[in-house]
Structure 1
Amino acid sequence: MDKAALERRLSRVAGFEDPSVELEQYPTPADLAAHLVHLADVQRDLAGKTVVDLGTGTGVLALGVAFRGPARVLALDRDPAALAQARQNERAVAPDVPVSWLLADATRAPLCVSEDAPSREETTVLMNPPFGAQTGNEHADRAFLATASEIASVSYSIHNAGSRAFVEAFSDDEGGEVTHAFGADLDVERQFAHQSSERAVIDTEVFRIRWE
């Protein structure tokens, strides 16, 4: 399945029925999700790997990954309603590999401890974490990056525009390196009362980080 076909398949993913502004529950558009998955696939970060989607929401990134031959896909979210929608989306999208949907706080690593747990080198993270745009929730994405640095050798993440200096400084402090960075438009429909227009385009930045 090429990137265009993957985008069409991911367009079946339904968004949040009752999104939480506190959790910054904005859906990841199908075109951006397909592009991110395609980049990770080209970099050989998906096939045969355990791929973890931190803060999966309604599951679009996890479901995209599940078409790229991973060993397994784990998708975490703290919102049970979001996970219920994600499970419905899995039935609609019908990925090649089943996704394990986990009710868990993605910012509290380690996520699991067992003898058969994958090594960091065998684990990739894809995520669209909260940007920390809400008062009292500043730098919420920092905790997601911290988890990624603990469990994975590579992570892909979407952040608010203007985050490059922060992401590079954080990854340097944790022994990581930003290997790819690019801007992307996040086109979202009106979801919250404070939004004045029916649609909004949010400027974002996407990063691939190699963690040592």
Structure 2
Amino acid sequence: MAPSRRTLARELESLADFSDPDPDLEQYLTPPEVAAHVCHLAGLQSDLERLVIDLGTGTGMLAVAASLAGADRIAGIDVDPDALATAAENAARVGADVDWVRGDVTRPPFCSPESDADDGLTVVSNPPFGAQHGNRHADREFLETARSIAAVSYTIHNEGSQEFVESYADDEGGTVTHAFRAPFPIERRFEFHTAATETLEAEVFRIEWR
């Protein structure tokens, strides 16, 4: 039996953060509560019965959450080898079974396998919010990859993204089936941060692409 959302969040609290986060990659730890909410919902929607791909996995929070929530086949992809090393350590810490792949999520080294042609893939992702110079619309690139490989995606975006996400999904033949806000606390870690902790109201979307 899959754990409750609360139990899942408690298990995820033991996962390590980035050891040396890169501001250009907007490396922030996905909050355990948010990851638990996303993957618990995915389990209720039977979306964890497919192959699950975590785009831009970072420390592996969403990939590990998917494994603990009941997914049997999970892969996490990230461009940063140090982040992937942390993700692998996090998975081992809680007994999660995840395949880790180094690669650029805008040019993923995989496609929907023929064996999954009927059910497709499930994508989970906490893409960069596009807050840094040069990163504008970074979350759009993640949506484009999700659209190209997934039957269903769960993505976390900055506050005020609903109009953009719904418009993009509609233009690409997708349907936003679930949308909810989630507190996203960010601790001070970069020079440009002015407060010890800031809490954003992130927005999470489930999109059916097929």
Is the 2:8–2:69 contact (alpha carbons within 8 Å) kept by the matching residues of 1? no
Instruction: Report the RMSD for the aligned CA atoms in angstroms.
Output: 1.5
User: Aligned partner of 2:201: which letter?
Assistant: D
**Which residue of structure 2 aligns with residue 118 of structure 1?**
116
| Residue ranges of structure 2 left out of the alignment (5+ in a row) | none
Distance 1:203 1:134 in 2: 18
Closer/same/farther in 2, CA of residues 11 and 120 from structure 1, 3 Å limit: farther
**What amino acid is aligned across from residue 128 of structure 2 in structure 1?**
P
Change (3 A) 1:139 1:120: farther
Partner Cα separation in structure 2 for residue 178 and residue 114 of structure 1: 21
Match of 2:88 in 1: 87
Distance between the aligned counterparts of 1:169 and 1:101, measured in 2?
32
Deviation at 1:90, TM superposition (A): 1.0
Answer yes or no: is the 8 Å Cα contact 1:120–1:151 preserved in 2. Answer: no
Give the deviation of 1:179 after TM superposition.
0.8
In structure 2, the residue matched to 1:64 is 65
What is the aligned partner in structure 1 of residue 105 from structure 2?
A: 106
Work out the percentage of aligned pairs sharing the same amino acid: 49
TM-score normalized by the length of structure 2: 0.94
Alpha carbons 1:121, 1:152 under 8 Å: kept:
no
Q: Kindly report which structure 2 residues correspond to 1:2-17, keeping only aligned pairs within 5 A, or say none.
A: 2-17=4-19
Contact 2:24 2:132 in 1 (8 A): yes
The Cα of 1:114 is off from its aligned counterpart by 8.6
Matched, 1:175 2:173: yes
Deviation, 1:121, is 2.5
Q: How many residues align?
A: 208
More helix by share: 2
Q: Against the structure 1 CA distance between its residues 193 and 49, is the aligned structure 2 distance closer, same or farther, given a 3 Å change threshold?
A: same
**Alignment TM-score, normalising by the size of structure 1:** 0.93
| 2:74 matched residue in structure 1 | 73
Structure 1 residue corresponding to 2:194, chosen from 177, 193, 196: 196
Asked whether the equivalents of residues 187 and 196 of structure 2 are also in contact (C-alpha less than 8 Å), the reply is: yes
Deviation at 1:6, TM superposition (A): 0.8
Work out which of the residue numbers 19, 22, 35 in structure 1 matches 2:21: 19
Distance in 1 between the 2:190 and 2:112 partners?
41
- Structure 1, unmatched stretches of 5+, are none
Say whether the 8 Å CA contact 2:55–2:124 is kept in structure 1.
Answer: yes
Runs of 4+ in 1 over 6 A off after TM superposition: none
Any idea what the Cα deviations from partners look like across 1:20-66, whole Å, max 9, x if unmatched? 111000111111111111111111111x2100000000001000100
Corresponding letter in the other structure for 1:25: Q
Question: Is 1:160 aligned to 2:162, yes or no?
Answer: no
Q: Per-residue deviation at 1:113?
A: 5.3
Matches within 5 A, 1:119-138: 119=117, 121-138=119-136
2-structure distance, mates of 1:89, 1:105: 21
